[in-house]
């Protein structure tokens, strides 16, 4: 529903009459608050008035009268009583038979001159196989036909039957004429016909009919008589129209009162996705702290995703069950030779940095394999590779997607966002890292932050960041942090400059903020949810 349609609905809801508790002096107020429909209906309720009668007299539609009665009842001016009775109506076959004649009559007609085989009789009578079988039973029971082998022949009773209406036919005619019949008030003949027809397929159906009757309460009587008295003497204005405003006629009438406490239907506006809203917010935090945004490809070679980050080529994170590898193109190109050589010797022997490296033979083919980035740290690697001495000190951030080859379930996504920042500064140290972390998380609303040892493959020292959760009243793990290993920095930057880094996932915080228990709901794009979810409030 767009705004326009919704506004139309609101208008009609505002038109709904005022509901106030009745007091002696309120009769006048109540009359003034009556909806045009109520004004039309109320005069016709004198004693017990059945709905059908009010409809007829007021010349309104059923639904309009029902609505008016409901509103009047809400105001305790009218009492509605509903009585029910069991009724019988024609069903689809019944209606058809009332036009074409009963199948047994058609069958008798077909064979009245000569006996016929079953097939021919059925064809000539234009009835279905099933109908034929039913008719045969019915007619045999009445001794109207006899069956010899595969042939059917009319008997005297049958010829007589053709000359007059059967009880069933009479009953169907009645139902056609009167729309329905009350089960309890059938004559014995009708009852006999009803019992017979009930057993046959789709001729009649049983139903429950509701009869609504309205009667006035004492207050209702008072309001009605006042209404009847004043009708025609005052002009009631329901909606202020442009014409009324132009000619000033709104002043001349009595403006109907609305119930301003009324519930109106909900509308919604255009919305950004709540994840993107959260991302915008996080980005402002980074920008406030002087960070520059990093962007880059989601699909990259293992060289950048793993090797450049000193992830050993036999490390389990590189296995197929964790990482999305690409079928076509399976492999990409390696970058400039200087990066390849530096990364290769770093893995093999530490590249003269004083590190021992991994001590294996580095395989360039392994590094060419294309992957969907498993972390956004790959963006940091690209950034370092492009950074010039004159750019330092520098700070970068990204809020971007990464991928994990996992089955989707209530707590796992295969595409998720990481929030990540790096500080490249020759003078930076672990103390500064803790400083940045405290500032960053303070901006996110966590005043108490602490770090404790952790392990991440590409940072040393590494730290787990815990914040004191103001609602849960306990420490919770929120992010990982550390200083990039020299084995990562040197091949990319050409020298060992401290690179402070920290990062965290986005989706879990989002799920927590919006009380989403099943993480899949974050991306299932249920429009009802997207339209109704609260704004990111931080």
Partner 1 sequence: MPTITLNKKVFESLVGKKLTLEVLKENISYLGTDLEKIEGNEIHVEVFPNRPDMLSEQGFARALSSFIGAKKGLREYKVERSGEKLIVDRSVANVRPYTACAIVKDLRFDDEKIREVIEIQEKLHITYGRKRKRAAIGIYPYEKITPPIRFVAKNPKEIKFLPLEANKVMDGLQILSQHPTGREYAHLLEDKEKFPIFIDAKNNILSMPPIINSHDVGKITTKTRDVFIECSGFDFNVLSTCINIIVTALADMGGRICSMELIYPDKKRITPDLKPREMKLDLGYVNRRLGLDLKESEAAECLRKMGYGYAKGKVFVPAYRADILHQADLAEDIAIAYGYNNIKEEIPKVATIAHEDDFEVFKRKLANILVGLELTEVNTYHLIDKDMQTKSSCLDAEVVEIIDSVSKDYNSLRFWMTPSLLNVLKNNKHNEYPQKIFEMGTIFKRSIKTESGVEEASRLCVLLCHGKTDFTEIKQVMDYVFRMINVKCSVSETEFRPFLAGRCGRVSVNGEDVAYIGEINPEALKNFELDMPVAALELNLTDLFEAMNK
Residues 39-98 that bind partner 1 (CB under 8 A): none
By CB under 8 A, tell whether 270 contacts partner 1.
yes
Residue 516 is classified by DSSP as -
Question: Quick check: 290 binds partner 1 (CB under 8 A)?
Answer: yes
How far from each other are the two terminal CA atoms of the chain, in whole angstroms? 29
Residue number, 137 or 359, with CB nearest to partner 1:
359
* Binding to partner 1 in span 157-196, by CB under 8 A: none
Query: Which of residues 135, 139, 419, 437 is near partner 1 by CB under 8 A?
Result: 437
Which of these segments, 20-28, 73-81, 239-247, 523-531, binds partner 1 (CB under 8 A)? 523-531
Cα angle 124, 128, 134 (rounded to 5 degrees) comes to 105
Query: Would you say 413 and 340 are in contact if contact means Cβ atoms under 8 Å apart?
Result: no
**Least separation, in Å, of the C-beta of 291 and partner 1?**
6
Q: Which of 430, 468, 513, 514 binds partner 1 (CB under 8 A)?
A: 430
> Do the bridges between strand 459-469 and strand 474-484 make them parallel or antiparallel, or are there none, so unpaired?
antiparallel
For partner 1, the closer CB: 270 or 537: 270
Closer residue to partner 1 (CB): 203 or 506? 506
Site for partner 1 in 468-487 (CB under 8 A): 483, 485-487
Q: Choose one: 65-73, 234-242, 250-258, 270-278; the region binding partner 1 (CB under 8 A).
A: 270-278
What are the residues whose beta carbons fall under 8 Å from the beta carbon of 25, sequence distance 6 or more?
A: none
CB of 520 to partner 1, least distance (A): 11
Count Cβ atoms below 10 Å from residue 438 Cβ, excluding itself. Answer: 18
DSSP state string for 215-259: EE-HHHHHHHHHHHHHTTTSPEE-S--HHHHHHTGGGTSEEPPB-
Buried b / exposed e over 294-303, threshold 16 CB at 10 Å, is bebeeebbbb
Asked if 264 is part of the footprint of partner 1 (rule: CB under 8 A), the reply reads no
Q: How far apart are CA 60 and CA 74, in angstroms?
A: 20
Examine residue 370 and tell whether it contacts partner 1 (CB under 8 A): yes
Token reading at 515 = 């009380």
Of 133 and 524, the one with the shorter C-beta distance to partner 1 is: 524
Contact flag: residue 428 with partner 1 (CB under 8 A): yes
User: Which residues 338-357 are close enough to bind partner 1 by CB under 8 A?
Assistant: 350, 353-357
Query: If binding is defined by CB under 8 A, does position 439 make contact with partner 1?
Result: yes
Q: How deeply is 106 buried, as exposed, middle or buried, from its count of CB atoms within 10 A (0-12, 13-18, 19+)?
A: buried
Number of residues in contact with partner 1 under rule CB under 8 A: 98
Least distance CB 304 / partner 1 (angstroms): 8
């Amino acid at each position: 529903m767009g705004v326009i349609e919704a506004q139309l609905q609101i208008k009609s809801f505002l038109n709904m009459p005022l509901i106030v508790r009745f007091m002696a002096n309120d009769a006048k107020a109540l009359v003034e608050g009556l909806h045009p429909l109520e004004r039309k209906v109320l005069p016709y309720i004198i004693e017990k008035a059945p709905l059908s009668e009010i409809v007829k007299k007021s010349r309104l539609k059923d639904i309009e009268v029902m609505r008016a009665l409901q509103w009047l009842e809400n105001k305790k001016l009218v009492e509605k009583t509903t009585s029910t009775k069991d009724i019988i109506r024609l069903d689809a076959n019944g209606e058809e038979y009332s036009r074409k004649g009963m199948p047994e009559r058609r069958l008798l007609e077909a064979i009245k001159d000569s006996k016929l085989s079953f097939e021919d009789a059925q064809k000539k009578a234009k009835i279905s196989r099933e109908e034929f079988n039913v008719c045969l039973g019915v007619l045999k029971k009445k001794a109207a036909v006899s069956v010899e082998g595969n042939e059917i022949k009319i008997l005297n009773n049958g010829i007589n039957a053709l000359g007059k209406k059967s009880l069933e036919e009479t009953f169907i005619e009645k139902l056609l004429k009167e729309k329905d019949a009350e089960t309890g008030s059938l004559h014995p003949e009708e009852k006999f016909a009803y019992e017979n027809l009930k057993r046959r397929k789709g001729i009649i159906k049983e139903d429950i009919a509701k009869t609504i009757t309205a009667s006035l309460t004492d207050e209702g009587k008072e309001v009605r008589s006042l209404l009847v008295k004043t009708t025609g003497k005052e002009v009631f204005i329901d909606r202020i129209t442009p014409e009324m405003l132009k000619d000033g006629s709104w002043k001349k009438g009595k403006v109907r009162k609305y119930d301003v406490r009324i519930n109106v239907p909900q509308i919604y506006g255009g919305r950004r996705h709540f994840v993107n809203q959260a991302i915008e917010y996080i980005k402002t935090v980074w920008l406030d702290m002087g960070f520059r945004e990093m962007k880059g490809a989601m699909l990259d070679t293992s060289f950048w995703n793993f090797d450049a980050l000193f992830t050993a080529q036999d490390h389990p994170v590189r296995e197929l069950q964790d990482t999305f590898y690409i079928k076509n193109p399976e492999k990409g190109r390696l970058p400039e030779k200087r990066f390849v050589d530096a990364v290769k010797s770093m893995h093999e022997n530490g590249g003269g940095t004083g590190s021992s490296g991994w001590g294996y033979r580095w395989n360039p083919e392994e590094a060419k394999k294309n992957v969907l980035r498993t972390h956004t740290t790959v963006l940091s690697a690209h950034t370092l590779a492009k950074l010039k001495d004159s750019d330092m000190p520098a700070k970068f951030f990204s809020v971007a997607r990464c991928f994990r080859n996992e089955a989707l379930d209530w707590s796992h996504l295969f595409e998720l966002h990481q929030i990540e920042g790096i500080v490249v500064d020759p003078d930076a140290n672990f103390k500064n890292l803790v400083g940045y972390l405290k500032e960053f998380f303070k901006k996110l609303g966590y005043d108490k932050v602490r770090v404790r040892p952790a392990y991440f493959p590409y940072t040393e020292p590494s730290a787990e960041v815990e914040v004191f959760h103001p609602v849960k009243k306990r420490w919770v793990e929120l992010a990982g942090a550390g200083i990039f290993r020299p084995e990562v920095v040197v091949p990319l930057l050409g020298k060992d400059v401290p690179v402070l880094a920290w990062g965290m996932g986005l989706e879990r915080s989002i799920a927590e903020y919006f009380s989403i228990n099943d993480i899949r709901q974050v991306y299932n794009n249920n429009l009802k949810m997207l339209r109704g979810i609260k704004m990111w409030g931080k």
